[in-house]
Amino acid sequence: MSRIDENASEIARVAAERLSQNGGKRVLIAIAGAPGSGKSTLAEKVVHGLSGDRINAALLPMDGYHYDDIVLEQMGRRPFKGAIDTFDAHGFRRMLERLKANQDDVVAVPVFDRSIEIARAGGSLIPQSTDVVVCEGNYLLSLQPPWDRLKPIFDFTVFVDVSEDNLRKRLQDRWRTYGLDPKEINRKVEENDLPNGLAIRLGSAEPDRRIDNN
């Protein structure tokens, strides 16, 4: 079993424990980390592991709460998409609270489509029967207001840590898959993604569990 699979299994085990301790009441798990840290892959594996254990689980990526490109253009922040101020923090928090309360028969959540760099409204449905919602995103544990109001909502928090050198390489590799030229890749990584990633590493609250994914 690979290290990421071992980590996913351990998080799924903790989620199942929290569910039992809560008397079956829905559990929210946070997996935070810099872009390129591997948090999305880890979160997907946790959901898969829980489903394999016959626990209804769903994934909620924070990226669905990106501001639209038109809004970012109006803000003058389009080149810095992915920075902490380019997300709807209040809307995301309200969604977490709604999911935690679990009073609706189904909740539609937005999903970010990286191929077009735009969030699709109602891209996924989370039914009331979902026992565990695994949330993944850059700023789930941010200490910066109003993001600092998120951590108390979660039942268990994880931070995926990666060194600066590995972050740079992974981010470069990510953008290469989209066919960007080297100059644009360097701009995106050095002027936006990597500074955001380093700020996330320094500005996040201490999690319940920290994972080294170098």
- In this prediction, residues 26-31 reach a mean pLDDT of 98
The predicted model scores a pTM of 0.92
- In this prediction, residues 141-154 reach a mean pLDDT of 98
Taking the C-alpha atoms of residue 100 and residue 128, their distance in angstroms, rounded to an integer, is: 10
Give the domain ranges of the chain.
Answer: 3-212
Whose CA is closest to 153, among 130, 135, 177? 135
Considering the domain 3-212 in this protein, what is its CATH number? 3.40.50.300
| Interval 74-105: pLDDT, tens | 999 998 899 999 999 999 999 999 999 999 99
Which residues fall within 8 angstroms of residue 21, CB to CB, at 6 or more apart? none
Could you tell me which residue, 172 or 131, shows the higher pLDDT?
A: 131
